[in-house]
Structure 1
């Protein structure tokens, strides 16, 4: 079971939108050196929505190669098309991903039975550990705990990233009998500390992009039941948890990484660089966390 601080890594780009492979390799090395426990490649933060199929799989392949089995690599392979989700998950397995993260189908708003059948179809088509991903604020679709419980009975569905941002939902999920093989991960940095203290196995994190060592230490403390230590670290990161979302993710976190000289500030339309009115806000959050 994957545990701890799991970075939803950005996909570095040049100003023209081309993928910056050298910077991606550098980020992977930095995360491993800083203690990041696992890497999600091409999730929401990795701009999966604007990478084409070949680019998507190439990012996963390269992250797997850069990581060299030192940390697990989880591939973002979700889609609002079940056939496409199957194809991406199969390709991710072929290039060596350790697991897949599949967002709920977005825009078409499937009912709970549709969600169940979608995930069941992907799990049955590809023999790879698969993590469900619920983020209704992005997708317009909320996967309910009862559906998660049904899906947890499928052997290679091994976890859920819950990004609704409500501790009440986390507690409801943790109260279910989902099996020892099934992990619940926070997908919301602001509530991740309390979620892990309550029983989650880690955090799939945006904040870890810019403060990897502190996020690793926070998650390790919370997993060990060190409430005081975890909350103290969380307090140092609180401004980042909030201010990395002053505009839609990953706009602020890419600006922050460029400010840290880790990447260039390249994004693909329809995303645009962080508005200058937010620069000092994000800069102050980086300083508060000791990242600048």
Structure 2
């Protein structure tokens, strides 16, 4: 089995230029920003990447580019299968596997139609596992679009015991479910990594597998500090956890375009174009800039407090 993949794992966004094509210079700058801000792995070609709006060639190029630019500094995992038929999904997943990603992530809602039963889902698992290279570690992602398919306890156990799976991006958004899943997967390579900011700190403490949520596009370093040092500074950690939860309530305000607006402010890249969110955020979400102002202000404030706490401890 390959290296353990866990910790603060951003779901990567895809910058586009005014011509509608991927902005590779901006994407490279984004990769460096993730790494400089405490990310421990990167999840390329995912829902945040707008994978359902990318061609297979673009998905493959994103994964390969990420692997090449990261150059082994941290692990890279990639998904990118969006088709309905298993045959087409196998083609997509094999192409992603060939990019050199450290793990290939299966999307749970692609395993079977929304109304399918356990037998049909298991048949899809069997077909995919038989087709994909046995030396390529696998993960799972309970992607909420086009619909959310949560894995059953039996499916969690199957994945854990198979030895093929190393990571679940858990989108149950329920701490009791995260705890139960972590217990089922205990003493196996299969790690349960929560994606919901509302339970992020508590889930980190339960699973030890980190956080793989969309707000890692805003302040991954704060989640990293919470994970690594929160127990040493419980009062500050609790206050930070409150700020992180409240900041995450902006996600329905046009994410991932919202994150692109944030990165345009930072200077990571210049254009906020999004294929998944084509409308004008400012027309739909009034006072949006003021909200982002407060996220920036709070992020800077907690960075300063963390710095002061660390200096005082020396």
2:74 paired residue among 71, 74, 79: 71
Work out whether residues 134 and 142 of structure 1, in 8 Å CA contact, stay in contact via their aligned partners in 2: yes
Counting only pairs closer than 5 Å after superposition, residues 104-253 of structure 1 correspond to structure 2 as: 104-105=108-109, 108-109=113-114, 110-126=116-132, 127=134, 128-136=136-144, 138-221=146-229, 226=232, 228=234, 230-247=237-254, 249-253=255-259
1:11 paired residue among 10, 14, 23: 14
Distance 1:3 1:208 in 2: 14
Partner SS for 2:166: strand
Give TM-score scaled by structure 1 length.
0.89
Counting only pairs closer than 5 Å after superposition, residues 25-104 of structure 1 correspond to structure 2 as: 25-79=28-82, 80-104=84-108
Runs of 4+ aligned structure 1 residues displaced above 6 Å come to none
- Offset at residue 207 of structure 1 (A): 1.1
Paired residue for 1:257? 263
Partner SS for 1:132: strand
With over 3 angstroms needed to count, the CA separation of the structure-2 counterparts of 1:282 and 1:83, relative to structure 1, is: farther
Partner SS for 1:122: helix
Unaligned runs of 5+ in 2: 304-314
- Offset at residue 257 of structure 1 (A): 1.6
Task: Please identify, of 262-271 and 164-173, the stretch whose mean Cα deviation from structure 2 is larger.
Answer: 262-271
Give TM-score scaled by structure 2 length.
0.83
With over 3 angstroms needed to count, the CA separation of the structure-2 counterparts of 1:168 and 1:15, relative to structure 1, is: farther
Aligned length: 289
With over 3 angstroms needed to count, the CA separation of the structure-2 counterparts of 1:83 and 1:272, relative to structure 1, is: farther
Cα deviation code 1:148-172 (max 9, x no counterpart) = 1122222212221111211121122
Partner SS for 1:268: coil
Distance 1:173 1:161 in 2: 12
- Offset at residue 194 of structure 1 (A): 0.9
Work out whether residues 149 and 178 of structure 1, in 8 Å CA contact, stay in contact via their aligned partners in 2: no
- Offset at residue 123 of structure 1 (A): 2.6
Distance 2:229 2:85 in 1: 39
Work out whether residues 135 and 164 of structure 1, in 8 Å CA contact, stay in contact via their aligned partners in 2: no
Partner SS for 2:229: helix
> Which structure has the larger Rg over C-alpha atoms?
2
